[in-house]
A and B are shown apart, each in its own frame.
Chain A
């Protein structure tokens, strides 16, 4: 048994999945459905029940533990009505303590954000909004199946700022079909003009069972060459650094102090609760995945059973590998002290020979505090992660 906290620490982060969209984007394989108001209402009821179940199971009836982060992801969470949001917020307030320190993020589609909704969210305690802008090029937006246009993004961010949200993130995608370096330049420039505090830049990955995968197989999807995609990524890095942003993770950039704390929970291999159809949680060494299908999810909840579809008990070795695989995504890398706290072991006693050989090749750097991947290997980091997976 390990003396570390990895399996004993109580979760302080909560993920809530809202699996609804106005339409499916062509690259997306997340769990989301285009459906009716009635279905959405029923889902919210089940979600409230699951919140209570999860709370009671891990903390006990009547307890009111404090949450550090809450993240509403999707899907498109902003498709919920103000009334539905308030019901969820009320339940959260009954079960958990949220302070002004609690980071509460909501993912939003630019076209689904009204002034009224923004005001209501701020009032409920939401303090961070993440917009899926993806690109500011109108043609590209259509190519990937987004319903909004570039002006919607600008309008939504303006509303968020006007209402009083100080923390706004934009997602941008790189490597879209037909995308050029100029498009990326324009998107980054327009994003920065909006005065955001955080930006995520993701490379497109063609996932199975998406329209993109089908088109790729049929030869209709013309993606930029690897070299160009790398150039896009490097362009974003340079431009954001020049604008005062720090890159703190492979795909994430923030003004100082504006990092997404919820995602840091993942990268630091900390536990997190998750509710909603298809949501993934990690509590007391158990990774669980909820039923993806709305019908099954609601059935299980009606039977007063946790809607877990798959669960996996993480071994001490696997947990240590995970800490590396996830932590090395951060520019600050894996902290020796945090590794010791999590696993009750010295990092070098566990991975010493591997770290040494990787340092000799220049693929890792280390000092007395931490181990990290040098910036030039960010884009091939999987090669390094893979050496840790299955090492023990």
Chain B
């Protein structure tokens, strides 16, 4: 059947772009141009399927789609487009999609030029030996300067940009040429139909009727319904029920062959069997070696997630299990807080990843959650010469047992217009950064290299960077190891009791100021109670800051409204509704935001 394509006429590619540089719009135009969807069926940004993605204008989960393209050479090609997330938090997802491709479009905004995160993804693609096709997008903007950007691509990345496509995804300019370059420049997949089946799982999702559905790139051999397949890492075996491709809706086909990208359904009930990065083979004719797979990304930021309503705990566990299925970077384990009850300590790749998981849990599963302030993983060396990893500040051992604490450091590269270099350096200084290097990209743009404690990046670095550079700076970072620091644990006491969920670890020199600001912030966030509530910040037994929430003095309805009891009742019900998102800690009602207040105090 026509779905079966000759491997020589298959092209697998992804799109690398910085947020806002027009990746989703370009993907839409390509879909439209190849007739995968008619213009009428198109609604903006088809590939970004999650509501959350469309609202935030970013891609979180990768998506795949299969296109048919009759090229100028008279041949009909099958193009598999695998979408990639653009944010630094999702590097892991990017590496997954790149591993399933032979080429990538590098989309750069004709006005803004290359950004730090784009650079990171390009290097990832180069490491994977992908053919890169530069596309200079938004050339119809008044501020576009395609020649400058062309020079930048050559100088900064070292790619030949003489053939770079000048495009405007929005206006539909350059789409034909992009497709032609995909066909002519990106190599066809190499793969052998005769060899034993090897298919890389690069994603999956759970379908209530079909069980877990795995997204695969077939490297060798053929997979079809009836085949007994084996997951090489877990050893689990299933009979294939259906295979298909994304056009972009899931469409069943007879078989998937070497070079193809598609999905496999096999009534897989145990979601843990479908490990992303694993290799599928044919149980009756198995491959001897699995594909290299992925390096599992280690979460860098941890926080506690607790349901406001404690009876939602089982639902939260179920929801995390579902999300973990296709988000291998998400980690969680049960934990208990004396203030918040039962919940989970969760690990994320970064702050955005954390926010998105939290939002998905709230939106898709109807949960109301309390998130504790994020923490990095500290290496705590004890006087008995052992080392413990601490990702929850409240678990930090007593100071007399601690010999030293080491914290994770990152190397951050920050691209900024040179006018803002002063602001950026000031920010990095304040964030305990060590200056490494400064390079001019051209006359107007600079890359600054700093070594910074990861925890300082977690705390509002990105927002401050953006506001200090009028939104022009971009940045990327990589972990470079652990270094000893003068760190202390700061406890917060409400009404005299330590609230474990509010404890955090901070540099000694900043402890006093942070403690003071946090007490002030909490005073604003926590509503007045019927009694006076002291807020204290303490290191060990020593109180370093104190604020007081005065007792509520007045909340009463005097009038009887000529017997209108319903109105009285409604007012009280409304008042009660406002308290639903609060957690009772001891006798004090604490709103959700208070637990994140530490993030917002600089």
What are 22 A-to-B residue pairs whose CB atoms are below 8 Å? A15-B563, A17-B562, A203-B554, A203-B556, A226-B554, A230-B553, A280-B563, A280-B566, A281-B563, A322-B565, A325-B572, A326-B565, A363-B530, A378-B556, A380-B530, A382-B555, A382-B557, A383-B530, A386-B573, A386-B576, A389-B569, A389-B573
- Report how far A365 CA is from B561 CA in the complex, Å: 27
Q: What residues of A have a CB within 8 angstroms of the CB of B569 in the complex?
A: 322, 325, 389
Could you say which of B556, B565, B573 contacts A250, with CB atoms under 8 Å apart?
A: B556
Q: What residues of A have a CB within 8 angstroms of the CB of B571 in the complex?
A: 382
Q: Which residues A171-206 have CB closer than 8 A to chain B? A: 201-203, 205
Q: What residues of B have a CB within 8 angstroms of the CB of A386 in the complex?
A: 572-573, 575-576, 579
B51 at the interface (CB under 8 A from A): no
Q: How many residues of A contact B (CB 8 A)?
A: 41
Q: Which residues A15-45 have CB closer than 8 A to chain B? A: 15, 17, 30
Q: What residues of A have a CB within 8 angstroms of the CB of B557 in the complex?
A: 205, 382
Contact of B556 with A361 in the complex, beta carbons under 8 Å: no
Contact of B563 with A205 in the complex, beta carbons under 8 Å: no
Q: Contact flags (1/0) for A256-293 with B, using CB distance below 8 Å?
A: 00000001001000001010000111100001010000
B568 at the interface (CB under 8 A from A): yes
Contact of B553 with A202 in the complex, beta carbons under 8 Å: no
CB proximity of A66 to chain B, nearest CB, Å: 20
Apart from A229-B554, A279-B563, A361-B587, what are 4 other A-B pairs with CB-CB below 8 Å?
A251-B558, A266-B563, A379-B553, A389-B572
CB proximity of B427 to chain A, nearest CB, Å: 36
B208 at the interface (CB under 8 A from A): no
A312 at the interface (CB under 8 A from B): yes
CB proximity of A249 to chain B, nearest CB, Å: 9
B552 at the interface (CB under 8 A from A): yes
Could you say which of A205, A280, A363 contacts B562, with CB atoms under 8 Å apart?
A: A280
Contact of A379 with B556 in the complex, beta carbons under 8 Å: yes
Q: How many residues of B contact A (CB 8 A)?
A: 25
Q: Contact flags (1/0) for A326-337 with B, using CB distance below 8 Å?
A: 100000000000
CB proximity of B496 to chain A, nearest CB, Å: 15
B72 at the interface (CB under 8 A from A): no
Could you say which of B564, B575, B579 contacts A289, with CB atoms under 8 Å apart?
A: B564
Could you say which of A203, A251, A282, A380 contacts B552, with CB atoms under 8 Å apart?
A: A380
Across chains A and B, which 4 residue pairs bring their CB atoms closest together, nearest first? A202-B558, A251-B558, A382-B555, A389-B572
Contact of A380 with B561 in the complex, beta carbons under 8 Å: no
Q: What residues of A have a CB within 8 angstroms of the CB of B573 in the complex?
A: 386, 389-390
Contact of B554 with A280 in the complex, beta carbons under 8 Å: no
B559 at the interface (CB under 8 A from A): yes
- Report how far A312 CA is from B560 CA in the complex, Å: 18
- Report how far A385 CA is from B530 CA in the complex, Å: 13
Contact of B563 with A377 in the complex, beta carbons under 8 Å: no
- Report how far A300 CA is from B160 CA in the complex, Å: 84
Contact of A379 with B554 in the complex, beta carbons under 8 Å: yes
CB proximity of A105 to chain B, nearest CB, Å: 12
Contact of A380 with B565 in the complex, beta carbons under 8 Å: no
Contact of B559 with A382 in the complex, beta carbons under 8 Å: no
CB proximity of B591 to chain A, nearest CB, Å: 16
Q: What residues of A have a CB within 8 angstroms of the CB of B561 in the complex?
A: 30, 280
A381 at the interface (CB under 8 A from B): yes
A73 at the interface (CB under 8 A from B): yes
